[in-house]
Every structure is written in structure tokens, then in C-alpha cells.
Structure 1
Amino acid sequence: MAIFKWFLLEWSNTGCMNNARIHHKAFLLTNGKVLVTGGYADSDILHSAELYDPLKETWATTGSMNNPRYGHTVSVLTNGKVLVTGGHNDTDTLNSAELYDAGTETWKAISSMDKARYYHTASVLTNGKVLVTGGLRNDAILNSTETWKAISSMDKARYYHTASVLTNGNVLVTGGIRNNAILNSSELYDPLKETWSTTGSMNNPRFDHTVSLLTNGKALAAGGVGNIQELNSAELYDSLTETWTTTGSMNNTRYYHTASVLKKWKKTWTTTGSMNYARSVHTASLITNGKVLVTGGYDNMGIVNSAELY
């Protein structure tokens, strides 16, 4: 792991995770620690989990999930517990779900989803429910009794897409892959009506991209893979007009990435200090001290357990 000194634009190394992992998930808990779950390393699918303590800058193992999985989702619920759904165990696509209790550091299996899925999305809605979309199947929603309720399907089946909860409470789903075609379409889920509607399409089809909700309420889509090659393009979604507009491109094409820094108001990108390790399919989590924790992934030599702080 490394600490980025923003005033010197450099990184410094510190401890590593207990397990090298890729296609894992990391999420900030309400107690300020970061929970890292699952993924795989070499030929092993992992059910292990570990905690990063930003005060001590140390890693510690915690209770393991009931099922090894990668390509799953992790969501922190309004009660502080962590919901994990779906994924793959290298043999089967999973419909199982489980809850992590940060107080006891234990996992509890709960009722399974209606459809097995991986590389899907899960979004915590403003009403406390969790919307699960895509993967290779339809959609489901978790209600307060820990049971699953099928809802209307999206207009297009998709995976490797994104789902973002907008400031108005609606969920914006963008891009992904359907039947080997890369999508530029977007759609909105209204949690009050429990309905889907199409919205403006992106200017570029893309998957394995990122979508970030900005402080002005707009959503920034960046990078990913397009029809011909990896992308450095970026575009902004305005929920008021339901339209996308192109904005300044990143300095580098990238996919399986996390984020770059957008200069406020100028709609331009700026390079900053490089990480100590090249990596893809890693995670990045904004922690309570304002730093960003980057974990694991794949470098030019293999799967890594290193982590860094920005």
C-alpha cells in the first residue's frame, strides 16, 4: 500500500493485503474501515474477506463469506450491514446472497435472488431497497423482509454496464454488452413507480467504463471499450434534459479502471502522480480521511496484493 503526498505528487509504499486478488469488491463501511471481499487469485476463487483500518494503515482478516465468488456486488445497507449478491464460483453462476455484520465480523446467508447472475450491478435506493440489474439475466429488488421481488425488466439485457443513483433518486443504467454488441443506450429506473424508461443514449457505445456522480448532479461517463478500441473519451449526462454531451477526453485510453481527476469547472483532465504499480481490474474506495484506497488487481506480472493510498 502507498500514501500519495498531494503536495509532492509522489507515492510511498506501505503494507499489503493478506491475499492477492482480482475481480474482487471493496466498500467503505459505516465504521470507517474498508471491507474487501472475494475475487480470485491464480486458480483459486476466494471466499475470504479482509478489513483495512485507515487509522492504523493495516490489514486484518475478517469472517469469510459462505460462498467463494467473483464478479459479485457489495452494497452497504441503511442499517450498516453489507449485502453481497451473486457472482461466479468458476463452476456455476450464483443466485445466493449474504449479509456481513461489521459488529460481529460474521456472514449470514439470506434468501437467494430469483435469477443467478454475475457482473451485474446493485444500487441502494433512497427508500433503502436494493436494485439489482443485468448480468446475463433480468432484474430483482430486495425488500425490507430480506426476500426478493421480481420487477419489470430493463429495455435491454446487459452486463459490464454501470448503474448510478442520481440526486433525484432515479437509477441511471448505461452501456454494457448485449449479444456481443456494445451498447450506447441508457435507461432510468423510477423506484416510486417501479418502472423503467429509456433516456438519452451516450455518444459512444462502451463497456467496462466508469460513471461518477458529480457535485453538480451530472453523471460523468469515462473510458471503457468501444466498438473498435479502448476509449479515452468522456461525456456528461444531465438528468434535467436527459441528454449526454461530450466533455474533455482523458489523457490515456483505459478500461477496467477506477478514476482520474476532473478539474472543477474547466471540464478538462489533468495527469497526477502515477501509482507505484500498473494495475487493472482493481478497486478504489474513497475513505473518511478524504484519501482513496486502491487495492489489488492485475499488473504486468500477475495478480497482486498491493494497495495504495491517494
Structure 2
Amino acid sequence: MSAVRGAHIAVKLANEKVLVSGGDGGSGGGGYLNTADLYDPIANTWTAVSPMNSKRCSHMASILSNGSVFVAGGYNGGYLTSAEIYNPTTNTWTNTASMSYARQLATISVLSNGKILVAGGDNGSPLNVAELYDPSTNTWTVTDSMNYARIGHAATVLSNEYVLVTGGCTANSIAEIYDVSTETWTVTGSMMSIRQYHTTSQLTNGTVLVAGGIISTSTYLNSAELY
């Protein structure tokens, strides 16, 4: 890449190229970054593209139905509410409406109705608040809050179009589900282990594989479980 970076975001575009944005370059890499790079898997090359309008690390990103990249929140010395969209065709970033809550390390989920759900995260303390972005109207709407504040959690859009959120709570292993039609959260079964910063992967049979994570700064997990 053109810059050293950690706590950045990568998303795969419709043309199979990968956009990497932002992050933290550390004291030797320029600190918080707004730069972005595009990886071409066919040519095996990185190309610097237009920088974001805001420096941000630990932000959230997703692909919109039109192929653009939506980026929201993060941290650059302060917690961010701002959001912006990258157009791969014109190589431009455009600021959009800002979130109602500043946050980093939240989950972002693209729903079947085209809206984007951002849930939880951190703004100095863990959050349970969630909000919806509607790309068609460029508006944010606060939706039902999760039952538990979460940071380091994971979100999976299930085959039934509900959103499963797991982990991120230091005190329990309770998971919960967001119903897109009613815009409400419901507590579901608990995981076998308390987990933060784990991964989730939906398998072809519809089950969700949850793997690894941490319980505390001194306890790391190699266990996995299926939902």
C-alpha cells in the first residue's frame, strides 16, 4: 500500500478491486489518515485514490446498491458522526448527512430494504444505540436501542433478513436479533463464551460460525461455536 496503516477498513467493489481507507499510521506514518488505496487483484498493484474528506480510523464501511462505498464514524482524536460516500467511477468522496451519535468500532449492516443499520460502538464508553441510514433520502433515523451496550461485537445479516448481533459485552454472552420489519431488538440465546473482537461467518446452510475473540486483555480464545 502507499501508506502504513492499522485500524483501517477494506471493502470489495463490484469490479473485484478492493478499496482500503483511513486508519492510523502511528507516529512514523502520519498519525490518523484520510488516504485511500485501491488494490487490483489482476494486475497485483496498489493505486492511491482520492483521500476521504475526514481522517478516520476504526470506522465503518459498506457497499451501496449502486456500487459506491459508504463510510461512517470512526476516530481521529475525537469520535466522529460524519459520513461520506466514495464513487469509484469518478474517484470522488462526497460528504453525506451525519449520524446522530458519534462512534467508532460499531457494526454496519446492509438491510434488504436498502437501508444501513449502524449499532453500538464506542464514544468513550460502550453504546447500545442504533440508527438507520437511508441512501435514497440521505437521512439518518434513530431506531430501537439494543438491550445491551456493545463494543467489539459482530453483526450478521441472516438468511431470514434479521440481523444477529453477538458479543461485545464484558459481563455476559447474550446475543440479540434486530427485526427489520418492526425495527426492534429481541434477546436470543446466549453464546457458550463471553466474546469481544471475534469473527462471525454465515455458512451455506444458514448457520453462523462464531470464532475466537477475547474475554479480557489477558484471556484470548481459540474456541468456536455455531448459531
- Superposition deviation, residue 5 in structure 1: 5.3
1:131 and 1:55 mapped to 2: Cα distance? 33
2:175 and 2:70 mapped to 1: Cα distance? 26
* Counterpart check, 1:35 vs 2:70: yes
- After TM superposition, where is structure 1 displaced by more than 2 Å over at least 4 residues in a row? 1-14
Q: Structure 1's 22 and 32: CA in aligned 2 closer, same or farther, altered over 3 A?
A: same
Q: Which runs of 5+ in 1 are unaligned?
A: 190-310
Matches within 5 A, 1:271-282: none
Larger Rg computed on CA atoms:
1
* Counterpart check, 1:150 vs 2:187: yes
- Per the alignment, residue 219 of structure 1 pairs with none
- Per the alignment, residue 159 of structure 1 pairs with 196
- Per the alignment, residue 17 of structure 1 pairs with 52
Which of the residues 150, 165, 175 maps onto 1:139? 175
Q: Structure 1's 44 and 150: CA in aligned 2 closer, same or farther, altered over 3 A?
A: same
1:54 and 1:129 mapped to 2: Cα distance? 30
Q: Which runs of 5+ in 2 are unaligned?
A: 1-35
Which of the residues 94, 104, 110 maps onto 2:143? 110
Matches within 5 A, 1:12-91: 12-41=47-76, 43-90=77-124
TM-score by length of 2: 0.79
- Superposition deviation, residue 9 in structure 1: 3.8
Q: Structure 1's 133 and 79: CA in aligned 2 closer, same or farther, altered over 3 A?
A: same
Tell me the SS of whatever aligns to 2:189. Answer: coil
RMSD value, Cα = 1.4
2:40 and 2:92 mapped to 1: Cα distance? 18
1:141 and 1:166 mapped to 2: Cα distance? 18
- Per the alignment, residue 232 of structure 1 pairs with none
* Counterpart check, 1:120 vs 2:153: yes
1:184 and 1:6 mapped to 2: Cα distance? 31
2:200 and 2:183 mapped to 1: Cα distance? 21
For CA contacts below 8 A with separation 6 or more, give which structure has more relative contact order. Answer: 1
Tell me the SS of whatever aligns to 1:44. Answer: coil
* Counterpart check, 1:183 vs 2:221: yes
2:85 and 2:121 mapped to 1: Cα distance? 21
Tell me the SS of whatever aligns to 1:100. Answer: strand
Q: Does 103-112 or 9-18 show the bigger shift?
A: 9-18
Tell me the SS of whatever aligns to 2:109. Answer: strand
Q: Does 150-159 or 3-12 show the bigger shift?
A: 3-12
2:103 and 2:191 mapped to 1: Cα distance? 25
- Per the alignment, residue 27 of structure 2 pairs with none
- Per the alignment, residue 3 of structure 2 pairs with none
